[in-house]
């Protein structure tokens, strides 16, 4: 049996990965945005208990941490899928039929305006105003990979490839 003097308290064990991230940034409150980015990379969103823990650990007001997390559109307080699909619907993409790409994804993955993440947490669909790649319209970004001049056939092939790769990995569960 472990001694209670040498074992970590349950709260610290629960947030072990968060503690590693905080340590990587020297527990420096000035690095809050970078800390939140790393936490979001780990969890794919910013869980409320983690935000509270970060505030306590950095000795900053909870409102400051939540304020930063809610101010920047990059941060999400809702769980996201392993693959985040961003479909540009800016002017150039819209006139080049980006809506048909959104329709395909919604139909294929059984998503809609109210449900943007698949039940298996594999995909999250986001409609964005502009991705800054107007010369490649219509544009879809899946995680960090950019697909330009996409049509429904090409997008269908990309989705098929992702699903096939997930099947090969096993059950399609999140890593």
pLDDT tens digits, one per residue of 104-148: 999 999 999 899 999 999 999 999 999 999 999 999 999 999 999
Residue 13's pLDDT is what? Answer: 61
SS3 for the chain is: CCCCCCCCCHHHHHCHHHHHHHHHCCCCHHHHHHHHHHHHHHHCCCCHHHHHHHHHHHCCCHHHHHHHHHHCCCCCCCCCCCEEEEEECCHHHHHCCHHHHHHHHHHHHCCCCCCCECCCCCEEEEEECCCCCHHHCCCEEECCEEECCCCHHHHHHHHHHHHHHHHHHCCCCCC
Mean pLDDT of each 10-residue bin along the chain, 175 residues long: 44 80 97 97 93 97 98 92 96 96 97 93 95 95 96 97 91 49
């Amino acid at each position: 049996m472990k001694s209670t003097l040498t074992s970590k308290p349950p709260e610290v064990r629960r947030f072990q990965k968060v503690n590693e991230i905080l340590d990587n940034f020297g527990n420096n409150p000035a690095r809050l945005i970078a800390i939140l980015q790393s936490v979001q990379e780990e969890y794919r969103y910013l869980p409320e208990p983690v935000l509270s823990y970060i505030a306590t650990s950095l000795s900053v007001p909870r409102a400051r941490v939540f304020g930063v997390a809610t101010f920047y559109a990059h941060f999400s307080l809702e769980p996201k899928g392993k693959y985040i699909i961003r479909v540009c619907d800016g002017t150039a993409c819209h006139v080049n039929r980006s809506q048909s790409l959104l329709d395909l994804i919604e139909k294929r993955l059984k998503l809609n305006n109210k449900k943007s993440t698949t039940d298996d947490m594999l995909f999250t669909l986001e409609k964005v105003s502009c991705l800054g790649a107007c010369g490649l319209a219509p544009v879809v970004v899946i995680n960090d990979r950019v697909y330009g001049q996409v049509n429904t056939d090409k997008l269908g092939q990309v989705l098929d490839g992702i699903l096939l790769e997930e099947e090969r990995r096993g059950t399609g569960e999140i890593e």
